[in-house]
Amino acid sequence: MTKRVAVFISGSGSNMQKLLESMKDDHPARACVVLSNDPRAGGLDIAEAAGVPTEVVRHEPFKGDRVAFEHALTGALAHHAPDLICLAGFMRRLTAGFVDPWRGRMLNIHPSLLPKYRGLNTHRRALEAGDAVHGCTVHEVTAALDDGPILGQAEVHVLPDDTEATLAARVLEQEHLLYPAVLARFAGGDRRPVMLR
Ligand code: GRF
């Protein structure tokens, strides 16, 4: 049966756009909703233009109360009945209370070759470390930040004159290939990692 996918965003939503574009024809999943914690997220317009329902759950009113924010997320998802959640540049940390019931059904994309560089500023940290190879990872989400079984990675060679911006741009190109490839495989019931080199 076709899987229903909720995509969570906070910003421009370029990964979300690639996921939406990929879910057609004999793909085993379809997007049922795009949810943002930020009403200004550019990705909301992209989702609406693609005919995908959107939800906004602002986090500010719940400042200091992640559990209440997560209850609001659950409420907003309810009538869309997703089978899977794809975090795609969703910039809020989720607690075990939300994550655990979705264990094995929630994916995230992270701009580093995990387990290297969990958290923020991954491109800067790779450059500062003098890494020759950087990249991105899609993984199952667990309550630990940027952790969980790895479902795919794409490598990007670091060039001598790379800046944070040039490196980020090349990693993002790979994210756009990797995330749809992983989702197609995962939604079809195959958890073997997708490795792009
Ligand atoms: C991506 O680099 C993603 O890996 C990171 O945030 C960025 C989101 O970009 N977590 P976009 O909103 O998909 O364009």
Annotated domain spans of the chain: 1-102, 109-197
Query: Separation of 57 CA from ligand 1 center, angstroms?
Result: 19
Question: What is the four-CA torsion angle of 78, 69, 59, 118, rounded to 10 degrees?
Answer: -100
**Multiple choice CATH, 1-102, 3.40.50.170, 3.40.50.300, 2.60.40.10, 2.60.120.10:** 3.40.50.170
Q: What is the CATH number of domain 109-197?
A: 3.40.50.170
**pTM of the full predicted structure?**
0.97
pLDDT at 1: 87
Query: Separation of 109 CA from ligand 1 center, angstroms?
Result: 8
Residues 108-159 have pLDDT tens digits of 999 999 999 999 999 999 999 999 999 999 999 999 999 999 999 999 999 9
Which residues are catalytic, by number? 110
**Three-state secondary structure readout of 11-33:** CCCHHHHHHHHHCCCCCCEEEEE
Summary mean pLDDT of the chain? 97
pLDDT at 195: 97
Measured distance CA(71)–CA(65) in Å, rounded: 10
Measured distance CA(15)–CA(132) in Å, rounded: 25
pLDDT at 149: 97
Query: Separation of 13 CA from ligand 1 center, angstroms?
Result: 7
Does 1-102 match 109-197 in CATH topology?
yes
Measured distance CA(23)–CA(29) in Å, rounded: 6
Q: Indicate which residue's Cα is closest to atom 9 of ligand 1.
A: 89
Q: Which atom, in ligand 1's list, is nearest to the CA of 43?
A: 12
Q: Indicate which residue's Cα is closest to atom 2 of ligand 1.
A: 111
> Which residue carries 């089978």 as its tokens?
83
Q: Which atom, in ligand 1's list, is nearest to the CA of 168?
A: 2
Sign of the alpha-carbon torsion through 188, 116, 13, 37:
positive
Is residue 22 within 8 A of residue 186, CB to CB? The reply is no
pLDDT (tens digit, 0 to 9) for every residue of the chain, 197 residues total?
A: 899 999 999 999 999 999 999 999 999 999 999 999 999 999 999 999 999 999 999 999 999 999 999 999 999 999 999 999 999 999 999 999 999 999 999 999 999 999 999 999 999 999 999 999 999 999 999 999 999 999 999 999 999 999 999 999 999 999 999 999 999 999 999 999 999 98
Query: Separation of 87 CA from ligand 1 center, angstroms?
Result: 9
Q: Which two tokens stand for residue 54?
A: 């959107």
Q: Which atom, in ligand 1's list, is nearest to the CA of 136?
A: 4
